[in-house]
Amino acid sequence: MKHRLFLFDLDDTLLDFRASEQRSFMRAMAQLGVTHQLGDLFQQYQATNLALWRSFEQGLVSKDFLKVERFRKTFADNRIDLDPHRASDLYVESLADTVVLVDGAAQLCETLAAIGEVGIITNGAHHIQHRRIDSSGLKPHLSFVATSEACGYAKPDRRFFEFTSKMARSFARHETVIVGDRLDADILGANRFGIESCWFNPGRLINDSQAVPSCEVDSLHDIVASLRGLAA
């Protein structure tokens, strides 16, 4: 294998964020005394959250605004009289306790760490992502964690990847690959920075974007073989 630096997105690539998100949301609502129509409420929250994350990645809103606004809007749309700041705090604190690994994540990180260096690249909140990694059991296999909060720029901004490359023990573009589930953040970021990428696509979605992955897999168990298949 030619690669020596493996940069992994965290949520929905190594960690099952959707499972963790739902558990954390339900726990926060229970603590706030909300018990009715939680399924519908969670779906509305997800849609609002996704739209705000897209705005954050475009530099249109701050992360502090996002974390509270997703609850404020969800509550407002459903005429729920609760403090969105309190809801945000409860939800974020719960994330570290609701970590779910994607199948094959631990084995993959262990394998690649024996070959080279494994780093995490994430747009998530710095201290929360570190706590989640601690809870996941992946930390012994990781060399560093690059967050948009520490960098000041988010994926797919080229400056985020420049920041990331300086955290690695050794960096060479031809020996680096990004693995992630997001075409618009991970794969497009790799394209802009001039490094190879592997699109983790468990849902087997159609790529109708401008992002061009070097390879594509629907299971983490297939990544090592796919990377070995890329031309040297």
Cβ within 8 Å of residue 21, ≥6 positions away = 46, 95
Residue in 102, 95, 109, 104 with CA at minimum distance from that of residue 7: 109
Q: What is the pLDDT of residues 168-194, one digit of tens each?
A: 999 999 999 999 999 999 999 999 999
How many angstroms separate the Cα of 224 from the Cα of each of 67, 88, 161, 172, 181? 35, 38, 22, 19, 16
pLDDT-derived band at 232, boundaries 50, 70, 90: low
**Residue 143's closest CA among 170, 163, 175, 172?**
170
Residues 17-45, mean pLDDT to the nearest whole number: 93
24 in Cβ contact with 138 (< 8 Å): no
* Greater pLDDT, 134 or 231: 134
Q: Does the pLDDT of residue 28 top 90, yes or no?
A: yes
List pLDDT tens digits, range 201-222. Answer: 999 999 999 999 999 999 999 9
- For strands 144-147 and 215-217, give the pairing: unpaired
Percent of residues, the chain, with pLDDT higher than 70: 99
SS3 93: helix
Residues 76 and 194 sit within 8 Å (Cβ to Cβ): no
Helix axes 17-32, 84-95, angle to 10 degrees: 130
pLDDT digits (tens, 9 = 90+) for 94-140: 888 889 999 999 999 999 999 999 999 999 888 889 999 999 999 99
Domains of the chain: 5-16+101-229 (3.40.50.1000), 17-95 (1.10.150.240)
Predicted local distance difference test score (pLDDT) of residue 160: 96
Q: What is the pLDDT of residues 79-91, one digit of tens each?
A: 999 999 999 999 9
CA distance 98 to 23: 7
Whose structure tokens read 């849609």? 47
More confident residue, 126 or 48: 48
